[in-house]
Structure 1
Amino acid sequence: MKFPRRGAPGSRAAAPTGHGLLRGAVRHSAGRTAAVLCCSAASAGAALAVPAALGRALDLLLDSGGGSGSSGSGFDGGSGSARCWLLVCGALIVAVVLLDALEALLSGVTSARSTAWLRGRGLAGLLGAAPEHGARLPPGELATRLSANATEAGTAPVSAAALAASLLAPAGAVIALFLIDFWTAVAFLAGIPVLLLVLRAFARDTSDSAARYQRVQADLASRLVEVLDGARTVAAAGTAERERDRILAPLPELAVQGRRMWRVHGRAVARGGVLLPLLTTGVLAVGGVALAAGRISVGDLLAASRYAALAAGVGAGAGLLGSLVRSRSAARRTAALAALPPLAYGTGRLPEAGPGALDLRGVRVVRDGRTLLDGVDLSVPGGVSVAVVGRSGAGKSTLAAVAGRLTDPDEGRVLLDGVPLASLARGELRREVGYAFERPVLFGDTIGAALAAGAEPASAARVRSAARAASADAFVRLLPRGYDTPPAEAPLSGGELQRLGLARAFAHAGRLLILDDATSSLDTVTERQVERALARDITPGTRLVVAHRLSSAARADLVVWLEEGRIRAVGPHPELWRVPAYRAVFAPPGEHSEPNEPTEKGR
């Protein structure tokens, strides 16, 4: 399925509200929704015609019977017209049944397609934004918004069409009452203001309870996914019962909100169940008076009773109204994903055969009120290997994300070979900037397909060459189906998974390759083999390596030393090693420099 395109950079069309998203879903399904409305309207029209035809047939039968003087001769003489009207009634009833069946089929298709469109919008917004935006929501919350909430919101076009159509029959019935006898219509309309107040209270209370229900539902899903991710930890700690109780803790609140929705619906139905029969009874009473006065016939009274019942169907719209209210609440949650600020791209291109020179100028990054990078100025010559070191929380991964434009700085600019990253086309940027992460995830039907996936798919030969460079080829060949093994069927250790992540990055290496702690699970020998292959076999370019190991920093051409979001020093490892504070970066927790070691000021 193709994702719907988002608006241009900075366009608010790319950030719809819940109402806007629902309007978009209606426009997307306009043809099918119109077909549903037409079927519903035609069914309502046929249903409206039935009482009139039935009343006409009854009047003809009574007239025919009275004129013959014999009850048995009522079907001779003028009863032919009555039979015709009875046949019309039968045809109209068959039409109602067929139209309702067609409406049900079209409604299912329309809701499914609207749901798919809404999910596409939400997913496009999530994947088109910087990764940290999606990371703010738990996976269970995201799954709920893209599944259950999108499904409920997807029923909105059909519910709106059905609600509009459901008002046609009552409106037509009221008009018919006016045509039969003015006062029968007045008797019915007298109770409409009360009915509107009931529906208004129903919509208000349903909106609040539905929103609360959906929030609790998402909380439940988030807890479940969280525990499933940590299943080994739960098993090792022996806390399965405690985690089960924690997962199920929101259930009482879910039950409270579910019962509240049913109570709201029940109150509306009960009130309508009292009011609408009273209105119908009032219509019959006024019609009886009109019959006694000779203003209407017996057939007219029968038709009036049927039209009063149809007009009372306005109360049935409460269910459709409740569905629309729940759809609106669900759409707000899905719209929050579609409204994530997009990581906009330009149309620029990099100079051909550039060395991969990287420049950060006055870069500042603030997330959730915390400054992660502040005033970072860095110039990295093309073709060198740079290690980024610092204590935990120093901003290493943030620097790596900014350097390859997985996120944009709040201030400052990042340039690759003199071209601002924000001005580059998406394909151009992703072809030339490769990433490997600490915890890679493999997407694809097979391991080979997962390694080949990128802005430009890599050839099978390049994938295997990259796997050899990452010391992954040997164990991949030992898998049941080699490179054709599905990732879910491959029993991979943490180190093997990291090597596959490196292989994927090597297969798409351009002028800048960023390794964000991508070798932390490798043993020293394998790490050294990977580094040698990287220097010898992979496309030359600039390497930016987030490093925690001393050996990684020692083998880099340059070291960028970060401290509290600022660059403390840049230089070759041997020079920085003379500084005790730099050595302390690699010291195990609790260890400190010797008292007699020279300080940075005393060098």
Structure 2
Amino acid sequence: MARPTTLREAAPGLRRTLRAVRPHLRGERRLLAGGAAALFAEVALRLLEPWPLKVVLDAVVIAAGARIAAEQGMDLQVLVPLMALAVLALVVARAGAAYLMTVLFALAGNRVLTRVRADLFAHLQRLPLAYHERSRTGDLVTRVTSDVARLQETTVTAALPLLGNVVTLAGMLVVIAFLDWQLALLVLAVFPAFAVTSTRLTRRITSVSRGQRHAEGALASLATESLGAMKVVQAYGLEGRMQERFAGSNERTLKDGVQGKKLSAGLERKTDALVGVATAVVLYVGAQRVLAGALSPGELVVFLTYLKTAFKPMRDVAKYTGRIAKAAASGERVVDVLETRNDLGDASWARPAPRLRGHVGFEGVWMSYVPGRPVLRGLDLRVRAGERVAVVGASGAGKSTLAALLSRLRDPELGRVTLDGHDLRDLTLASVRSQVTVVLQESVLFAATVRENIAAGRPGTTDAEVEAAARLAGAHAFVERLPQGYDTVVGERGATLSGGQRQRIAIARAAVRDAPVVVLDEALTGLDDETGGEVAAALDRLCEGRTTLVITHDLDAALDADRLVWLDGGVVADQGRPAEVLARRAARHDAAPRPLVPEVRRGA
């Protein structure tokens, strides 16, 4: 989609952004009202600033000025210092009003957009797994950080000054029209020429900036991708290739950045030249009108001062148009995420789940990742409370899909998933997930302390519960040997620990949840025999007395289960005691027949 290049084209994006932030504006009414008052005070003081100079010039230059002063009982020796003090007072008061306006508006804007960023991050965490799987992590990070930051920066450095300058410009045009409408028309005649020049250059500036923004997005995605896969990059010697790709994007940002600065500088210099031409014309015509007695010298000075000041708002309009247009595009990127529908949200009738025993049911479940290509095809499966069931089958048979459905990371397209007879969609999401704990093949830890990583399993976990969970997981001994024990900060994704250590901390994190249902999704894959034995023992302690689904490719790991379920083609092809099922599978090599695929509608 093309990015807007003018304020008019940016208006729809600005309106969408305003609708998204409007709820947060209500809490900042006092700051916004104070900022608006300071804005109008600053404009009024700016309009008054040249008038003491006018009074002095008229009193000194025109002989009648002395008579006017005498009639008012005021000596020139008093008038001149008084007007000088008036100029000083106006400048100081205007500076104070401008400072107050900037601070109040900036404070209100930053507060609002800080809450918008918090809402954006919270909404991203609530969006279903399918959304994140089709999105680029680097792009989402850029929306949370850079796009919101651009809105904050533009609000303070462009939108607010532009608003003040536009109001000032309108006030100045009104005043000079009252002073001399003929000279005012001459001033207005200069504006179209300025508008033509500024519009053309602003579009070029925005076009260059759009390319720079695209290159910056590519940089962010490439950096996120390569740094997140550093082990693969170094193992396969891809450093040179990654550096070459990064250098290409980096060079594009440099060229576009320099080009944008050149165009901006050219716009300002052309504006300065236009201001010079306009000033010369107004000075010449104004001087003729002073000699003709239609205008006083002081009023001519006011005209010239206003002219110079009036062109600053016009120049800022041109300079800030591109910036505001880009901010509108950033705002649309933020709003696009905020308006993304969360299909996994709580239904209006959803209720918190009671403490569950752990009866699991899959009833006629159909599930697809790609429309028209179902992974599960009317699957039926029941697991008794406290039963340990191993789920095996070829890759793509739908084993991990069961874990996603049971944790309600996804909802079935047809059929239903139940716990103790409750359809999961009738229960609140948080209450379901609090009673289902999952141990994955890749145990992801956060860049935090060991204690914080374990306590993340359940809010409010005490230090004693953390240590008890670590002992259950067989992690207490090696944690105690770490430099700061439980307060040792692990690297990002737990990179400073071995695979077995990460897995045992993940088991401790699962243990503090005290959930009645445990899903082990290839939890022993990739571990050596010694480490695997330690982790397996920890998992046995974790799963004792709980309903357990063991998803695995390792048939040996399935032998300890109470029941083995063999998936094939998205249905249960066989089930029973592990030894019996394996014997039957060995005796025949043909796969179970697959049912016909009915029409499956997403979201049905």
Partners of 1:17 and 1:336 within 8 A in 2: no
Deviation at 1:268, TM superposition (A): 3.9
Q: CA deviation at 1:228?
A: 1.9
User: Which residue of the partner structure matches residue 594 of structure 1?
Assistant: none
Alpha-carbon distance between aligned partners in 1 of 2:197 and 2:413, rounded to the nearest angstrom: 50
1:185 and 2:184 aligned: yes
1:356 maps to 2:355: no
- Structure 2 CA distance for aligned equivalents of residues 175 and 65 of structure 1: 27
Indicate whether 1:297 and 2:296 are aligned.
yes
Aligned to 2:426: 423
Tell me the equivalent position of 2:482: 479
In the TM superposition, residue 505 of structure 1 has moved relative to its aligned partner by 0.9
Q: How does 1:196-275 map to 2 (within 5 A)?
A: 196-201=195-200, 204-262=203-261, 264-266=263-265, 268-275=267-274
Letter in 2 for 1:55: K
361, 366, 369: which one aligns with 2:369:
366
Match of 1:543 among 548, 566, 571: 548
Given the superposition, is the C-alpha separation of residues 19 and 111 from structure 1 closer, same or farther in structure 2, using an over 3 Å criterion? closer
Aligned pairs for 1:47-446 (under 5 A) are 47-63=46-62, 67=66, 77-106=75-104, 109-110=107-108, 112-158=110-156, 159-201=158-200, 204-262=203-261, 264-266=263-265, 268-313=267-312, 314-342=314-342, 343-346=344-347, 347-367=350-370, 371-443=374-446, 445-446=448-449
Q: Once the 2 structures are TM-superposed, how far is the Cα of residue 417 of structure 1 from its aligned partner?
A: 1.2
Q: In structure 2, how many angstroms separate the alpha carbons of the residues matched to 1:469 and 1:49? A: 78
Separation in 2, partners of 1:245, 1:154: 33
Q: Which amino acid aligns with 2:132?
A: G
Check conservation: 1:124, 1:338, Cα contact below 8 A.
no
Change (3 A) 1:180 1:340: same
Does 2:467 align with 1:468? no
Distance change >3 Å, CA 510–CA 248, structure 1 → 2? same
Q: 3-state SS of the aligned residue for 1:435?
A: strand
Give the aligned partner of residue 559 of structure 2: 554
Residue in structure 2 matched with residue 8 of structure 1 by the alignment? none
Summarize the Cα distance change of 1:323–1:38 in structure 2 as closer, same or farther, 3 Å threshold: farther
Shift, 1:402, TM fit: 1.3
Q: Following the alignment from structure 1 to structure 2, what is the Cα–Cα distance between the partners of residues 564 and 43?
A: 73
One-letter amino acid matched to 1:98 = G
The SS at the match of 1:487 is coil
Deviation sequence 1:529-569 (CA, Å, 0-9, x none): 55555555656331122212122222222333334544433
SS of equivalent to 1:471: coil
Amino acid at match of 1:139: T
Question: Quick one: structure 1 residues 28 and 146, their matched pair in 2 at CA, closer, same or farther if it must change by over 3 Å?
Answer: farther
State the distance in 1 between where 2:306 and 2:504 align. 75
2:520 counterpart residue number: 515
Which structure 1 segments of 5+ residues have no match?
Answer: 1-15, 69-74, 584-596
Gaps of 5+ in 2: 1-14, 68-72, 593-604
Instruction: Tell me, in whole angstroms, the C-alpha distance in 1 between the residues paired with 2:209 and 2:571.
Output: 47
CA contact (8 A) 1:397 1:546 kept: yes
After superposition, the C-alpha distances for 1:337-356 in whole angstroms (9 at most, x for unaligned) are: 33333231244133445333
- Aligned-partner Cα distance in 2 for 1:415–1:179: 79
- What's the secondary structure of 2:416's corresponding residue? strand
**Cα distance in structure 1, aligned partners of 2:408 and 2:80:** 80
8 Å CA contact retained: 1:452, 1:507: yes
Compute the displacement of 1:506 (Å).
Answer: 1.8
1:56/1:85 contact within 8 Å kept: yes
Shift of 1:175: 1.0
Greater Cα offset, 276-285 or 430-439: 276-285
Report the TM-score when normalising by structure 1.
Answer: 0.84
Distance 1:238 1:523, change over 3 A: closer
Aligned counterparts, 1:10-25, within 5 A:
17-18=16-17, 20-21=19-20
The amino acid that maps onto 1:172 is: G
Aligned to 2:597: none
Tell me the CA shift for residue 502 of structure 1: 1.4
Q: Distance in 1 between matches of 2:454 and 2:474?
A: 14
Task: Provide the TM-score with structure 2 as the length reference.
Answer: 0.84
Cα distance in 1 between the residues matched to 2:77 and 2:179: 23
Question: Is contact 1:280–1:312 with CA below 8 Å preserved after alignment?
Answer: no
Q: Figure out how many residues of one structure are paired with residues of the other and give that number.
A: 566
1:292-311, CA deviations, whole angstroms, 9 ceiling, x for partnerless residues? 22111111111111111122
AA aligned opposite 2:345 = A
Deviations along 1:306-341, one digit per CA (max 9) or x if unpaired, are 111122222222233332222112222333333333
Single out whichever of 367-376 and 548-557 deviates more from structure 2: 367-376
Following superposition, the deviation at residue 66 of structure 1 comes to 6.8
Amino acid at match of 2:241: R
Letter in 2 for 1:131: L
State whether residues 21 and 113 of structure 2, in contact with CA within 8 Å, keep that contact through their aligned partners in structure 1.
no
- Supply the AA of the counterpart residue of 1:433: V
| RMSD between superposed Cα atoms in Å | 3.2
